[in-house]
Amino acid sequence: MNSSFWAYEGSTPELLCGRAADYLIGNNHLPLLICAISVLGGVLKVILKNHEVTVLIILSLLGSVLGQLAYYFVEVHRVVYPLLRTPSYSLYCCFIPLITFMVSLDLDFHILRNVFWQVSLTGLISIFAELIVTGYVVVRFNENSWDLQCCIFFSIALSIIDPFHSASSLKTIGISKMYTDFFRGQSLILCSVMHIFFGVFRGASDASNTFRELHLVLGVVMDILGSIICGYCCARVIEFILTDPFNNSLTNIILSISLVYMTFYTAENFGMSGIVALITVGLNLDSLSFKANMEHVITKFLMMFASIYEHLIYTFLGIVVGCGEIEYFKFHAIVFSLMLFVTVNCVRVITTLAVTPILMHLGREYNWQLGMVIAWSGIRGVYSLLLAPDVYNLAEQKVTAPHLFIFFIQAVSLLTMGINSYMMTQSAKTLGLCVISLPRQRVIQNVIHHIQQIRQNTIALFKTEKLTTNVNWTLVEQKTKIEYAIPSDNRRVSSLLCDDETSECPTDEVLIEEAKLHVAIMQMSSFEKQCNDGLIGVEASRTLIGATKIYCLIQEKFMSIYDVSTYVRSRSWLIMFKNILTYMEYHKEKGAFVLPGVNKFILFVYRIVFSEEFEYAANIITFMYIYPLIIHLWPMARKLNESALSSINYYFLFLYVLQSTLKLIILRKKYFKQHWNSLDFIIMLVGLIDALVLYCVLLRPDNLFLIQFTVTLGYLRIIRLLPLFKLVIPILINTIDVQIKKHLSLVYSITKGYAKSQEDANVLVKQISGRESVYQKLHDILEKNKHDAIKELGFIEHENRDIVIALKTKQVVRRVFAKAQKHLTFLWSRGIMDRNEAVSMHKVFLNKIKALNNFPMVAPPPTADQYLSNIIWMENKDVLIEFFKERTKLAYFDYNDVICKEGEMPLGIYIIISGMASLHSSSPTFGIDCIERPELEEETLFTEYWSSGQLLGELSCLLREEVKYTAICETTLQAFFISLEDLYEGFDIFWPSLEYKIWLNFALHIAYQYFEPNIADEHLTFQNCMANKRAYVESLPIYTEMNINTVDMKFVIIVYGNVINSATEELYFAPCIIPKTCNQIQGSVDITKLLIIQASEPDSTDHGSSIVSPGLLRAKKEQQGKKKDKVTHLAIGINVSSCGY
């Protein structure tokens, strides 16, 4: 390592860019200089917004002025002297790691992998062309006395493209992230290659021994492969530390920055490339590698430090340039700087346009418009500047003006930042890379329209509040009016509504292709949310996101659960290893062979070859040869037993020849179709050649070539042990199968997360879709994918019941603690709990969550008693459980058995214990006649898959109507059966609460299935509704009116049947949320059930036992009325019979 900024070999570094420090060195003012530069850079950045290059120019000029003042004034020289004494490599190690990590963290690994070959080809061709042309220009037109080595090093440093600025100007104009990652990926690859080059020469100059080719090769291998392995391991360590739930935000920020530098210094200390290691770390970390919402905070801090570092680098190097001899700054220096700027840009434009046809052939993502923008992306920055001092330090012949290296690179850097950034932006706008497509514009309009509807509904809701009666609603309408217009640079056409014939209107296929990308984004967002909520693990979420990013690029292809399974299998090394072993597994040929005639010898050989004893004998021969081979490979033992080894070799060679001959006689051409037979034949040939060469050595013992060839063939005898692996392969396959089964929990989590993402995407697509036909197609695709995923879940659960039960149990525990943490945060924010108390309780929760890492992989299934207690409407009450336990029967069904058929009267309720059933039905009617809703007349078949824990026939038993679906067993199935008579007996004994509870459970299920985005914040659970009366079920018979109080009733949801608006006579069909504008409704069918969610939770602290649900009161009245009618009919019957008597 150099001891000063400029290192002079064999002398103390006292001469610093002009004059030495001929005074007594006092206090160190470098911290003051750093703080002043940071403050000045921040002030300039605030004043000159969006003009970063102007800020850097000002700081560079101020640094040069400060350097000139230091050259002539001792007082200023004292301030900058510590900087001049700082080695250039120290500045490199201080600034480069954080900037590199920030850039690589912003890159998407999957996008970079898809365009890796295009990026590598463009970058390498461009960099080699720039090195050759720039080197020629430097040698030919530079007036300074630079030798060839300095010119090469200078050309390499000047050719490095800054990944920090190569795409920063494109982010503000709406260009696709795939393009920005293309630019940054290319820059990072070139930076890593050039920094490896400088690192090799830096290590060679520091080494005491001479530079050898072997050291060069080993150094490059360590810089590439070793750095990648080191970076991957460090990424896993960083992820483990940053995901620790006990770390707060400040701790994560400090750890992130410190671990970045630790990774860099560790790699550099062990002879690897710290830059490559940090790039690997950044690519292996994503949003799931941090705690929820922490990636954005850490990225902000990294950007802040990167900006400060950039200001310091340009100012520091400006000071170094200013401290140099001013007599070297002539007019030629300015002309030469402009010449370098023109050269690097012209070469890049020509090479990029030359390789564009090849890249367009390699991938459809690349086009000539992108090539034009890439041609202007050669922006130089801090990477080139920090390597500029090494041009002088690594050169053998020292020049008299080393500061000119920095001056030329800094000038080209500022020119490219200003001119190339502007040209990139204008090219992208002109060539249409930032144009929003027509389908995308339509989506934006639909989103704006949806936001407008939300705004109007919010204002209508506020108008009903008592405290806002005197608000000026006209002014509210004006101030909240949202007007958003797509920028003209991003628009392709002015009209998107397709009202006239001249307007361009996209087809359904184009809209669906655009919607596929939006669905992919929705799915990835759903995966992250599920991971943060504890529904799926980090590995499952990362796998799903990776699969989505790959399959969303395939045209006319929506990712299905089978595609995800293929992706998982391709990434699993266990499955790949098993496939290799399966391919190598030995399969004995036992097919029918046509034997010529009745030759007894052929029949005898046939029986020998296909006998078990023949296979055992071959394996025993291989085992027996292990001991002679060890003696042969041991030189001392070989000399003592030469004659014995020779005889043993001939004996075993005879056995190999005999084995192959017998198989060839019977199998003939089919002999070589078995890989192990081919290996045996090769072993036989090598043995015969070995014996022949040994015989030739005996004839010509003075031939050196034959002796060396004999020794080589002797070592090749080790291949005779390879057939032993065919005995180990079946054992390895069985072992891997056991390990694969242990990973089924990951597969289950992946499938479950995929099914939930399809449901979430379906809800969001409905809100932003602007064309009914497109929405219907998307709805059908998402529903089919969801049903396929649920079917796969059922199969996985049936085949691996204990593993799935353990995983489900763990996930439920995680969700319980997540809910508890949210409630704790709420109580803390409202001042109910003290901060210290909340922190202590939070640590208790975190300890419990961390303990889940040791949760067992398998768990026993619930018993019969536990299944009954798990039924939610039994509320784990012993009376109900004992009542139904005595009446429950265990039912068994085989594959393809019909449990119940559509149109038949229900026999009772089936509680699935194990297995899976498919439910086939027409469109759900929710008690609505098809005449009232014509769209229900369409014969659309729906298929659902139900597995353990779910109930069949619940609604049909409640309504006493025919079953609305056909349930068919997809696997063998076990279920508890509660007959209809026993259920009605329970209704009579536990009236009316039992029937009401079943209706409440059904209503909550329908509400969450169709209106989860609306009621997600209500925290409606069955226990909460029964205990606190947060929501209740209300029955509305036909012709019965009901007033809706919008103050007390937050939501009124029709879960079964339909009602009519008394004022407008508008019909509302289930499932539906009644609008806030409706004040009175009337039942229009015999049975209508409403779920009413109250606006505020009733106070249950006092007189909690006296609070009874309004729906339960009505249910009691109905039950009393039914009993009264029954008594009346009985009395009438008695009177009639007595009169007849």
**Token couple for 440:** 């995308």
Least confident of 55-69, 129-143, 227-241, 476-490: 476-490
Quick one: three-class SS letters along 570-628? Answer: HHCHHHHHHHHHHHHCCCCCCCCCCCCCCCHHHHHHHHHHCCHHHHHHHHHHHHHCHHH
User: What is the mean pLDDT of the segment spanning 705-726?
Assistant: 78
C-alpha span between 58 and 80 (Å, rounded): 18
pLDDT band at 18 (very low <50, low <70, confident <90, very high): very low
Please name the residue ranges forming H helices in 431-507.
438-463, 473-479
Per residue in 220-244, pLDDT (tens digit) is: 777 788 888 888 888 888 888 877 7
pLDDT at 22 over 80: no
C-alpha span between 22 and 38 (Å, rounded): 30
User: What is the mean pLDDT of the segment spanning 159-172?
Assistant: 80
pLDDT attached to residue 579: 76
| 1072 sits in which H/E element | strand 1072-1073
pLDDT band at 726 (very low <50, low <70, confident <90, very high): confident
Between 852 and 1004, where is the model more confident? 1004
- DSSP-assigned beta bridge partners for residue 16: 19
The pLDDT > 90 percentage for the chain reads 5
pLDDT at 20 over 60: no
Collect all residues with Cβ–Cβ distance below 8 Å to 639 and sequence separation of at least 6: none
pLDDT at 807 over 90: no
Distances 111 to 169, 216, 545, 553, 567 between C-alpha atoms, Å:
20, 32, 12, 10, 16
User: What is the mean pLDDT of the segment spanning 944-969?
Assistant: 84
C-alpha span between 498 and 757 (Å, rounded): 32
pLDDT attached to residue 844: 84
Query: Which of 851, 605, 572 has the alpha carbon at shortest distance from 736?
Result: 572
pLDDT attached to residue 414: 92
Backbone angles phi, psi at 161, to 5 degrees: -95, 135
Backbone angles phi, psi at 1040, to 5 degrees: -95, 130
Between 179 and 495, where is the model more confident? 179
C-alpha span between 766 and 759 (Å, rounded): 11
**Token match 């020049």: residue?**
399
pLDDT attached to residue 370: 79
Beta carbons within 10 angstroms of residue 1000's beta carbon: 25
pLDDT attached to residue 214: 55
| 1033 sits in which H/E element | strand 1031-1035
pLDDT attached to residue 314: 92
pLDDT at 515 over 60: yes
Please name the residue ranges forming H helices in 704-800.
704-715, 725-742, 744-768, 772-799
Distances 56 to 181, 970, 1096 between C-alpha atoms, Å:
25, 69, 58
pLDDT attached to residue 502: 43
Which of 111-125, 605-619, 761-775, 1046-1060 has the highest mean predicted lDDT (pLDDT)? 1046-1060
pLDDT at 891 over 90: no
Alpha-carbon Rg of the chain, whole angstroms?
39
pLDDT band at 487 (very low <50, low <70, confident <90, very high): low
pLDDT attached to residue 903: 84
pLDDT at 1127 over 60: no
C-alpha span between 922 and 965 (Å, rounded): 7
**Cis amide bond preceding 357, omega within 30:** no
User: What is the mean pLDDT of the segment spanning 699-719?
Assistant: 77
Tell me if 835 sits within 8 A of 828, measured CB to CB: yes
Per residue in 550-604, pLDDT (tens digit) is: 888 777 788 888 888 887 776 666 677 777 777 777 766 554 455 555 567 777 7
Which residue type occupies 1099? D
Please name the residue ranges forming H helices in 243-330.
249-269, 274-284, 294-322
pLDDT at 928 over 70: no
Per residue in 1077-1114, pLDDT (tens digit) is: 888 898 888 888 899 888 765 544 443 333 345 555 55
C-alpha span between 38 and 237 (Å, rounded): 32
**Token match 């503000």: residue?**
172
pLDDT attached to residue 974: 83
DSSP string over 834-854: -HHHHHHHHHHHHHHHHHGGG
pLDDT at 1134 over 50: no
pLDDT at 210 over 50: no
Residues in the chain, total: 1141
Collect all residues with Cβ–Cβ distance below 8 Å to 990 and sequence separation of at least 6: 879, 880, 883
Tell me if 690 sits within 8 A of 716, measured CB to CB: yes
- DSSP-assigned beta bridge partners for residue 920: 943, 966
Strand 966-969 versus strand 1058-1061 pairing type:
unpaired
How far does CA 124 lie from the centroid of its chain? 29
C-alpha span between 629 and 649 (Å, rounded): 9
pLDDT attached to residue 932: 53
CA 4, 7, 11, 16 torsion: positive or negative?
Answer: negative
Backbone angles phi, psi at 611, to 5 degrees: -95, 155
CA 647, 653, 654, 656 torsion: positive or negative?
Answer: positive
User: What is the mean pLDDT of the segment spanning 677-685?
Assistant: 82
Which residue type occupies 1111? G
Mean pLDDT of the chain: 78
User: What is the mean pLDDT of the segment spanning 847-861?
Assistant: 77
pLDDT attached to residue 62: 92
User: What is the mean pLDDT of the segment spanning 887-895?
Assistant: 85
Backbone φ/ψ region at 860: left (φ over 0), alpha (ψ -120 to 50), beta: beta
pLDDT band at 547 (very low <50, low <70, confident <90, very high): confident
User: What is the mean pLDDT of the segment spanning 418-423?
Assistant: 88
Backbone angles phi, psi at 471, to 5 degrees: -80, 145
**Token couple for 461:** 């809701």
C-alpha span between 308 and 45 (Å, rounded): 11
**Token match 């006209």: residue?**
474
Geometric angle at alpha carbon 460, from 455 and 461, rounded to 5°: 95
Distances 926 to 239, 921, 1010, 1093 between C-alpha atoms, Å:
49, 13, 13, 20
- DSSP-assigned beta bridge partners for residue 1033: 1091
C-alpha span between 216 and 201 (Å, rounded): 9
pLDDT attached to residue 885: 82
User: What is the mean pLDDT of the segment spanning 778-789?
Assistant: 85
DSSP summary character for residue 1038: B
**Token couple for 197:** 């080059």
Strand 1031-1035 versus strand 1089-1094 pairing type:
antiparallel
Please name the residue ranges forming H helices in 464-599.
473-479, 508-533, 538-551, 561-571, 573-584
- DSSP-assigned beta bridge partners for residue 918: 945, 968
pLDDT attached to residue 503: 47
Question: Biggest alpha carbon distance in the chain?
Answer: 139
pLDDT at 1125 over 60: no
